[in-house]
Amino acid sequence: MAKELRALLESRDALVAENESALTEYETRLAAWKELPEEDRTDPEPELDVEVAEQVESRNKEIDKLDERIKEETRSEKRAKAIREARAAIATIPTEDTVVVENEPMIYGPDSENSYYEDLARAAHGVTMPGSAGAIQRLSQWAHQVEREVANDSAIGKKSIESLRTHFRGENADATKRALAEIRERGRVAIENKDGVEQRSIVTGGGATAAAASGGAAFVSPAIFLDPYAPWREYGRAFCDQCHKEDLPPTGMQIYIPHVTGPAGVRQQTEGSAIQETDPTFGYLNAPVITLAGQVTVSQQQLDRAGPGFAFDRLIFDQLMRDYTPQFDTYVLNQALAAPTIQIWSPAGGFDLIAQNGSGGFYGQISKAKAAVRTTAGTVLNPTHLFVTPQRWEYIAGWGDNSYRPSVVADYAGPFNAIGAGSTDGDEGIEGATGYRLNGLPVFTDANIPSFGTTTEDSAIVGDLQEVFVYEGSPVSRVVPQTLANDLLSLIQVYNYVAVLVRYPAGIVQISGTGLTTPVYSL
């Protein structure tokens, strides 16, 4: 690292020397002209040769670029020096098998000169932005530091777990536990590595696959250091995270996939008669690539003076991403429900979980929706999820039968002949997987599910969510100071490209109607 810094300084010195040499002759002529008395100045004031001026300007631009790289390398060198000093400080500690780095300075945080979101923006722009190489290296090292803190079960590690959970939302709690265990194991391996933490490149793709590839740790915001920060909390992306994830193509504003619109034909052939011939028909399903974006205008004073120990840009980016999440989830929901099978349920007596006789109540509506998905020609899918709003699920979870017994019971209560069961502890959380199953389907909650027809009616969704293809790019965070520079204002922006393509609209059933009016609890 020091060698690279020395090479950059030598290159800069060489360019400065070339400029000084090029300007020496002109400055000598200009000085001689100024020494002459005014009456003896028969020639006009000497001017710098145009070609020489252009060469000087070109070298000045190269010097500016080198200055940026020197600044980045200097910061990296300081960080590396601090890490070396930390390792040296513990080198004399007796140990049997391993060396544990207890006080390695964090790449980002209150005592760091580095900005996580600035590095995130530089890494997202790639080699076209000065300093991107150093940014990617710091983000990679940050990922390993987070893994190590998780393995150490430190205060930072415990807070990091909260952020990591959002990257590993699976069908159930076990999937999340497995992913977090992998993070913890990588951190434990790093701790046992006496020569330091192995460096790996950061993965900047979006979605669950990219998060898994990088451990998700690189995307843990340093806002975990900001204990006094009380954010405006919003709902997440429970529905979106259960859909089928695909990488967003690198170009284009439309997604296309082939679609068979009519079947081929096979019939019994009688000897000597013609074979059945029915040619399948084809088409394309398509979906637009849209942009989700948000920005906040802040003063330079806020960015520079917010503190102490509080980077204001972290707060802004955190709040923008908190709102991006439910907006993306809402867009996916709206696309999935753009042309579903509408199932109106309007019982005379309002909501009822079951009917006394026959296949009725909400339980029966789930059966009806499952049957529709399984029997629709050209679709024939098996439903994988039941989605309801958190308010609706709590109403169902509190439902009792005529003998004053709850109808949905957690496993710890030893359910017998219950309508719905599951969950080891009975805690469904704010949204996402509840841990329960109802009529054979795992139950998920999402507060972003849109109402149907009227704001007093919510909806339930039954369907095969693996047929809802979600394409999500990598969110781009950036600071734009130029636009409003005359007022010392900057734009802090977050944007991303996303698309949603529903392969089988009939594979989604939306249950709505007066049976799902706002829940009313009995006194």
pLDDT at position 218, please?
67
Is a pLDDT exceeding 70 seen at residue 387? yes
- 133 sits in which H/E element: helix 132-152
Residue predicted with more confidence, 144 or 363 = 363
- For residue 438, count other CB atoms closer than 10 A to its CB: 24
pLDDT at position 332, please?
97
Ordered by where they begin, the domains of the chain are 2-225 (no CATH), 236-264+280-517 (3.90.1690)
H and E: helices and strands count for the chain? 12, 15
Rounded to an integer, what distance in angstroms lies between the CA atom of residue 19 and that of residue 23?
Answer: 6
Q: What is the pLDDT of residues 34-77, one digit of tens each?
A: 888 877 777 888 887 878 888 888 888 888 888 888 887 787 77
In the structure, what pLDDT confidence band is assigned to residue 223 with cuts at 50, 70 and 90? Answer: low
Which stretch, 155-164, 229-238, 511-520, has highest mean pLDDT? 511-520
Q: How far is CA 271 from CA 268, 274, 318, 388, in A?
A: 10, 9, 73, 56
Written as one letter, the residue type at 39 is: E
Q: What is the pTM of this model?
A: 0.61
Q: What is the pLDDT of residues 472-503, one digit of tens each?
A: 987 877 777 667 778 888 788 889 999 999 99
Residue predicted with more confidence, 462 or 200 = 462
- Tokens 């992306």, located at residue: 237
Torsion sign over Cα 159, 161, 164, 168: negative
Q: How far is CA 356 from CA 352, 437, 495, in A?
A: 10, 21, 52
Rounded to an integer, what distance in angstroms lies between the CA atom of residue 387 and that of residue 183?
Answer: 29
Three-class DSSP category at 128: helix
Rounded to an integer, what distance in angstroms lies between the CA atom of residue 245 and that of residue 211?
Answer: 12
pLDDT at position 390, please?
93
Burial of 424 (0-12, 13-18, 19+ CB in 10 A): exposed
Rounded to an integer, what distance in angstroms lies between the CA atom of residue 63 and that of residue 16?
Answer: 8
Q: How far is CA 137 from CA 113, 120, 130, 225, 257, in A?
A: 15, 11, 14, 21, 37
Give the residue among 275, 332, 354 at the shortest CA–CA distance from 446: 332
pLDDT at position 211, please?
33
Question: What's the CA angle centered on 175, arms 466 and 372, to 5 degrees?
Answer: 30
DSSP 341-385: EEEE---TT---SS-SSSS-HHHHHHHHHHHHHHHSTTT-----E
Rounded to an integer, what distance in angstroms lies between the CA atom of residue 291 and that of residue 240?
Answer: 16
Q: What is the pLDDT of residues 279-326, one digit of tens each?
A: 999 999 999 999 999 998 888 777 666 655 556 667 787 888 889 999
Q: What is the mean pLDDT of residues 434-456?
A: 88
Q: What is the mean pLDDT of residues 273-281?
A: 91
Rounded to an integer, what distance in angstroms lies between the CA atom of residue 160 and that of residue 164?
Answer: 6
Is a pLDDT exceeding 90 seen at residue 447? yes
DSSP-derived secondary structure letter, 15: H
Q: What is the mean pLDDT of residues 118-132?
A: 65
